[in-house]
Structures are given as C-alpha cells and as structure tokens.
Amino acid sequence: MICDRPISSGILVMAGVLLLLGVVVGPVVAADLDNNLFLHGFVSQGYLNTSENNYLVPRSVNGTSAFTEAAITLTATPMDRLRVGIQFLGRNFGDTGNDQVLIDWAYGDYRWKDQLGFRAGKVKMPFGLYNEGRDVDMLRTSIFLPQSIYNEKMRDFILAYEGAGAYGNFDLHGVGELDYHVYVGTLSVPDTGTGFWSDIFSSTAKDLEPFVGLAVDNDYGNSPGTAEASFGSMGDVGVTFPWIYGGAVNWYTPLTGLRLGSASMVGRFNIQTVLRYDVDIPDDPGNNGAGYHPYDIDIDETHEINHIATISSEYLRNELTLAAEYYHDDFNGNVSRGWYVLAGNRFSRLLSLSVYYSDAEPVGGSDAKRIQEIAGLPDYYGWQRDLTISSRFDLTDFWLFKLEYHFIDGVALTEPRTLEENLSDPLTQHWGMFVAKTTFHF
C-alpha cells in the first residue's frame, strides 16, 4: 500500500504556510517550476451545525468548526506522454483525520495513444460524476455533494484505489465520444479507530450487551437475567481489502454539453477486532464469584461487495449545470440505494447558486423493513431526504466563500446509535443543517 498511516501533523502546518504564502504572492500562485514541475494547493475552514440529530460529525447539534482541509499537489511531465504526481491531504472532520497528513493520491500516467493509457499507484476512483474531484471546492458550488451518492461515511470505499488501471477515449464518428477507465487493486483504510468503522463496531457492540449477559449466565449456570453486560472497549480494528476491480464509462453525446455515464466496483473486505465487555454478576447463584467478569468477543469476518454502482447524467450549457445520478450497492445481500437531481448556475463572477434534492435509503429490501418493524422504529428511520440550497461567492481569483442549508426529512444517514437509544429517545424526523466554508487555493 502506498500510505495507510499518517505522516506527521507538522506537515499540515507547513502546508498551511505554503498555501497562504501562495495567496499573498498573487500572480505567482500557480507555480510552474522549471516548466515541467507544477505546484498547486488549497486550504479551507468550515463550520457545521444541525438543528436536531447528530450528523456527519459527533455532537453536530452543538455546532463545530472541526472542519479543516489542506492539500499540496505536485505534478511533473518528465517526458512526452508520461505524467507523475502526488497530493498530500490533511483533514480534520469531527473525530476523523485529526490533522494527520496522508498521501491522497500518487501515481504515474503513461498515455500511449488517445485510445489507451495506463495508470499505476494510488489513483482517484472513477465513480459517479464528481468523485475524482470531491475534495476540490473550486469545482462546484455546494459544500457537500449529495450524500445519497457521495456519502462521507463511504469515503474510504470510493475515494481511490491502489493498483493499476487502463483508460482511453474513442471518437464515435458523429455520435460523440466515449471515455473508459478500468482498474484492479485494493483499498487502504487510513484510520479505523475513528469515524465509520469505529462507529459501526461500537454501536453493534452496545446492541449485543443483552446477549452477552445471557451468554455469561449460560456459561456460569446462572438464571437468565442475572448478569448485566456493558461494552467496555474495542481492540485494534483491522480492515483489509484483498482485492477490488471496477470501471467506468462516459458517453459525451452529440448534444453539446450532455454526458451520460455509469460506474461499478466489486470487491471483498476482511474485518478483525475484539469487543471487550465488563459483566456484573450481582449475586452468586452459580458459585462463580460475584462482581465484575471480563468477556471478549473475537470478530474475524469476510464480506463480499457484490457491487457499488452509479448511473449518471450531466448537462452543461454556458453557466448552467443540470445533473442527476442513481446509486445502488449490495454488501452481502444488504442493499442500499439513492438518487438526486441538481440545478446550478453562475450568475456573475461573484455569485453562483445551486439547489439539489437527494433521497437515500441506506438499507433497503424486505428483510431490513421487517427488522425495522419488529424493533418498533419509526418509518422515517428508513430514509433521508435532503433539499439543499447552496451559494458560492468568488471573492478573488484565489479565495471563495460558501453558505449552505439542508432541509432534511428522515434520519437514515445520521450518526449510529444503539437500538435502546433509538427506542427510548427517537430522533427528530424533520430537521436542518447549516454549513459555511471558505477556501484559499492556488
């Protein structure tokens, strides 16, 4: 793997200094070093606050400015047809990243001819319309891409692959052009101790507490309900992807500005950890000693990614953007789906506006609905619908500012909670999220 460990948080400070220096020097901001080596970068700071329900980051209902990003990109063309590059990215998003600087992507690209080129290294994954540029604020009006497709919790799955790929472009002689990109390799997960993986394991572990108590009673010969278990801690979480493969195609139609595309990825991943519980036996019916007893559950599982797929369309005309995408995935038979429609326009050099409606059903199918009904959860736990209005202000050529508000119905993508927490204190169905962000780039 190219880099699945943080380099040093000190590099983030250096990155910030370089980026701010780039903004100050104005015309020299986009650096061309020795004609073949180019330096670019950005630094951004955001603020996020939800009216109800914690979303995307822990304790978002209190408001948080733990929303910082910075990147430095170096690219070079040492010879004709050959391009190499690397990007260092630091993020602080809630409890994810914590200002650690990672290699976001790094690869070599040899374009043999228009119809065939090769890439190897850590390569941004072709997925949907915007995944390859999802971290670049300058490319869009909105702060957050529609979460029904570009779910921040799924970032580790679809950000970049480590391996090799082939790509190319074909002229279809009167019916447009066709781009393709196919690849094989693996994925690296930089931090399994926080964010998505930690949330999933800890919420699952808490849901298992009653069953752990019953297991201890059974082992000790106690009456059911004697022992009470509480989740204590989690051993090192290991997540590995032995292999993945996938590809994407985009058809640039004869209608100027219209492209249609599709992408899909298939793979397998392994998860390993130890769930540690403290079990209280208040009396001693089995003569095994009252008090606290440790209980561990070893997790070592393999899961199939049957597919993660998108179907996409985009129409660009002058300053107008129209887009729509559909998402579908299948993890071991657990199905999720989502879609969105988007419209945006740049009204002047200063102001751009966009609006999108996004609909996500992260766990679909009849089995999931039966589980929800048996548990007694409200219907709106099965969806999350999001009407988002975004504004972008280009204050200078190198500095932009964004404001965004989300009107949300449903809670399917909110921060994980235990079943007991959801039943005793259900989340609010209708709620909102305000986001602000500013970015300097060169």
Q: Is residue 161 part of a domain?
A: yes
Element containing residue 191 per DSSP (H, E): none
Helix (H, G, I), strand (E, B) or coil at 202: helix
pLDDT greater at residue 201 or residue 381: 381
Q: What is the per-residue pLDDT for 4?
A: 47
Q: Which two tokens stand for residue 198?
A: 């930690």
**pLDDT over threshold 80, residue 393:** yes
Percent of all residues in the chain with a pLDDT value above 70, rounded to a whole number? 85
**Radius of gyration, CA atoms only, the chain:** 24
Per-residue model confidence as pLDDT tens digits over 395-432: 999 999 999 999 999 998 888 777 777 888 899 999 99
Q: What is the per-residue pLDDT for 13?
A: 52
Smallest Cα–Cα separation from 268: which of 325, 206, 330?
330
Residue 17 binned pLDDT confidence (cut-offs 50, 70, 90): very low
**What is the rounded distance in angstroms from the CA atom of residue 345 to the CA atom of residue 348?**
9
Q: Is residue 4 part of a domain?
A: no
Q: Is residue 304 part of a domain?
A: yes
What is the β-pairing status of strands 384-396 and 351-364?
antiparallel
pLDDT greater at residue 294 or residue 185: 185
Smallest Cα–Cα separation from 299: which of 222, 214, 200?
200
Q: How crowded is residue 284: how many other Cβ atoms within 10 Å of its Cβ?
A: 13
Q: What number is the average pLDDT over the span 137-144? A: 94
* Most confident range, picked from 161-165, 195-199, 267-271, 275-279: 161-165
Domain tally, the chain:
1
**pLDDT over threshold 60, residue 8:** no
**CATH number reported for the structural domain that contains residue 223 in this entry:** 2.40.160.10
**pLDDT over threshold 70, residue 382:** yes
Q: Is residue 246 part of a domain?
A: yes
Residue 3 binned pLDDT confidence (cut-offs 50, 70, 90): very low
Q: What is the per-residue pLDDT for 287?
A: 52
Q: What number is the average pLDDT over the span 72-97? A: 88
| Beta carbons within 8 Å of 364's beta carbon, 6+ residues apart | 335, 336, 337
Q: What is the per-residue pLDDT for 19?
A: 47
Given a contact cutoff of 8 angstroms between Cβ atoms, the answer to whether 38 and 23 are in contact is no
Residue 365 binned pLDDT confidence (cut-offs 50, 70, 90): low
pLDDT greater at residue 427 or residue 366: 427
**What is the rounded distance in angstroms from the CA atom of residue 97 to the CA atom of residue 44?**
14
Q: Which two tokens stand for residue 334?
A: 């657990």
pLDDT greater at residue 194 or residue 52: 52
Residue 24 binned pLDDT confidence (cut-offs 50, 70, 90): very low
Given a contact cutoff of 8 angstroms between Cβ atoms, the answer to whether 265 and 245 are in contact is yes
Q: Is residue 1 part of a domain?
A: no
Q: Is residue 2 part of a domain?
A: no
**pLDDT over threshold 80, residue 290:** no
Q: What is the per-residue pLDDT for 9?
A: 46
Q: Which two tokens stand for residue 51?
A: 């009216």
| Beta carbons within 8 Å of 84's beta carbon, 6+ residues apart | 75, 76, 78, 107, 108, 109
Given a contact cutoff of 8 angstroms between Cβ atoms, the answer to whether 268 and 243 are in contact is yes
Q: Is residue 126 part of a domain?
A: yes
Query: Which regions of 160-290 does DSSP assign to beta strands (E)?
Result: 160-171, 177-186, 228-234, 238-252, 258-281
Q: What is the per-residue pLDDT for 95?
A: 74
Range of the domain at 169: 9-441
Q: What is the per-residue pLDDT for 27?
A: 42
**pLDDT over threshold 80, residue 314:** yes
Q: How crowded is residue 237: how many other Cβ atoms within 10 Å of its Cβ?
A: 20
Q: How crowded is residue 416: how many other Cβ atoms within 10 Å of its Cβ?
A: 18
| Beta carbons within 8 Å of 218's beta carbon, 6+ residues apart | 224
Residue 107 binned pLDDT confidence (cut-offs 50, 70, 90): very high
Alpha carbon 34 to its chain's center: 36
pLDDT greater at residue 101 or residue 436: 436
